[in-house]
Amino acid sequence: MQREILQQTRALYPVSLHGVGLSLGSADPLDAVHLRTLSELVGAIEPLFVSEHLAWGSVDGRFMNDLLPLPYTEEALRHTASRVRAVQDALGRELLIENVSSYLEFNASQMTEWEFLAALAAESGCALLLDLNNLYVNSQNHGFDPRHYLSCMPAARVREMHLAGHGVKCIGARQVLIDTHATSVCAAVWELYAAALEHLGPVPTLIEWDADLPSLDVLVAEACKIEQMQRLHRAVAA
């Protein structure tokens, strides 16, 4: 049934297929069944983009079905790049890789998240899906300048952007931002979006709001804001 609904949608609109289950950064072997199923779906839907996350979610065959952050090491970079290449070879097309929200970092990391992401794109030939809410959440949780992260992104490789809302959790005296997709996009992320339009151009942008859904007009208003900002960017750039 879900397939038919997707095919009906595809007949009317371009579709961006967004995966969460490939566990690209996992040390486990790639799940051949999952990849084959994805490949069949891509063949049937012919989407505009196919994307996955810079994350892992399984080890030793046990899946956590979450988008867990990687240690940003040389080993993880080589491993993830080879897996991205394998997926791109299997699908016969470019994959977009998205940055994820994180609430901790690995001591073993040898580079920053933005250095890892840019190096992954260079080594694997993948494109990028930049989630500005995830970028902002991490900048607050880990203490870096989100604009610097943005400026390090290879503009020619960013094909899509995501915006979303987040929640705040207090742990002791600290506040941790949690990616929830359950509320409106905050002002700081909208500001980051304006900066991203400058640096990356008006690429297709999605509002991710898939929990505690608002009334449709609230969601439509957020989408309209994207359109307005992109139109303004084009007018100024012209």
Partner 1 sequence: MPSLHELQRRFAAALFDGTDASAAADICARGIDPAAALGIYRRQLHETFRRALALAFPVIERLVGAGFFIKLAREFQAAHPSRCGDLQRIGVPVAAFLRDRFQAGPYAYLADVAALEWAYEESMAAPAAAAFDARELAGIDCAHYAQLRFALHPACRLASSAYPVLQIWHANQPCSPATEVIDLASGATRVVLLRPGERVRFHRLGEAEFALVSSLASNSSLGVALDAALQADAGFDLVPVLRRLVVLGVFTGATLPLDARGAPFSGLAPTAPHI
Dist. CA 167–CA 9, nearest whole Å: 31
Structure tokens at 177: 């931002």
Among positions 6, 20, 90, 229, the unique one binding partner 1 when judged by CB under 8 A: 20
Q: Which C-beta is closer to partner 1: that of 169 or that of 234?
A: 169
Whether 163 and 208 have beta carbons less than 8 Å apart is answered as: yes
Rule CB under 8 A: say whether 181 interacts with partner 1: no
Rule CB under 8 A: say whether 215 interacts with partner 1: no
The contact pattern for partner 1, residues 49-88, with x = CB under 8 A and - = no contact, is -------xxxxxxxxxxx-x-xx-x-xx--x---------
Structure tokens at 236: 């100024």
Q: Which C-beta is closer to partner 1: that of 70 or that of 196?
A: 70
Dist. CA 114–CA 151, nearest whole Å: 9
Rule CB under 8 A: say whether 203 interacts with partner 1: no
Beta strands in 127-238 (DSSP E): 127-131, 158-164, 166-171, 174-179, 205-208
Rule CB under 8 A: say whether 169 interacts with partner 1: yes
Rule CB under 8 A: say whether 4 interacts with partner 1: yes
Rule CB under 8 A: say whether 8 interacts with partner 1: no
Among positions 6, 15, 21, 183, the unique one binding partner 1 when judged by CB under 8 A: 21
Dist. CA 126–CA 94, nearest whole Å: 6
Structure tokens at 193: 């979006």
Q: Both ends of the chain: CA-CA distance in Å? A: 45
Dist. CA 170–CA 182, nearest whole Å: 18
Closest approach of partner 1 to the CB of residue 22, in Å: 6
Q: Which C-beta is closer to partner 1: that of 31 or that of 94?
A: 31
Rule CB under 8 A: say whether 141 interacts with partner 1: yes
How many angstroms from the chain centroid is the CA of residue 83? 17
Closest approach of partner 1 to the CB of residue 200, in Å: 28
Instruction: Give how many residues touch partner 1 by CB under 8 A.
Output: 48
Rule CB under 8 A: say whether 123 interacts with partner 1: no
